[in-house]
């Protein structure tokens, strides 16, 4: 079985809606399980034991949510350089009131430090979460799940 870890933070519910759509897409691929956790609940074992990672955050003041940063802070030292993490595929989804690129850039910079492998374009949602955004999130989940399952990534 292939396991996709979805780590996210949400206060308004926007990022949670996006995370649920990513999970739905990933879970629709036969032979894939989804671990769906808020960033405050996710830890090193989750990161080490997944085949792919989807990271979701709202943008606050041009930065990712503090809880997403906390997940990275809690796992970085123990994960750095481990074979279970090197080149692990990841994707990102961000909800923002305005731009979203600040949070995205910071998440991607941290993922470079982990030596994770970006495998698909991020989903940036600005404003309310509409059906088009949820479709793109579903596709994001399907893409990382199918690619991991088939060993493409």
Residues 33, 114, 64, CA angle at the centre, nearest 5°?
80
Task: Note the pLDDT tens digit of each residue in 19-36.
Answer: 999 999 999 999 999 999
User: In the prediction, which pLDDT does 97 show?
Assistant: 87
> Which residues sit opposite 63 in a β-bridge?
60
What is the Cα–Cα distance from 147 to 16, expressed in whole angstroms? 23
The CATH fold assigned to 2-149 is Rossmann fold (3.40.50)
> Which residues sit opposite 83 in a β-bridge?
none
Task: Note the pLDDT tens digit of each residue in 97-151.
Answer: 889 999 999 999 999 999 999 999 999 999 999 999 999 999 999 999 999 999 9
**Percent of the chain beyond pLDDT 90?**
97
Note the Cα 127 to chain centre separation in Å. 19
Global confidence as pTM: 0.96
- Give the CA-trace dihedral at 65, 71, 88, 55, to 10 degrees: -30
């Amino acid at each position: 079985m292939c396991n996709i870890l979805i780590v996210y933070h949400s206060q308004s519910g926007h990022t949670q809606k996006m995370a649920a759509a990513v999970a739905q897409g990933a879970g629709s691929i036969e032979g894939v399980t989804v671990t769906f956790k808020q960033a405050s609940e996710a830890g090193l074992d989750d990161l080490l034991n997944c085949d792919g990672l989807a990271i979701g955050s709202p943008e606050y003041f041009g930065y990712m949510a503090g809880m997403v940063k906390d997940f990275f802070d809690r796992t970085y030292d123990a994960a750095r350089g481990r074979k279970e993490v090197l080149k692990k595929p990841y994707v990102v989804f961000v909800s923002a009131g305005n731009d979203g690129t600040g949070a995205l850039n910071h998440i991607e910079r941290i993922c470079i430090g982990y030596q994770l492998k970006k495998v698909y374009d991020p989903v940036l949602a600005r404003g309310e979460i509409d059906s088009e955004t949820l479709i793109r999130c579903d596709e994001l989940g399907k893409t990382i799940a199918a690619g991991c399952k088939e060993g493409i990534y």
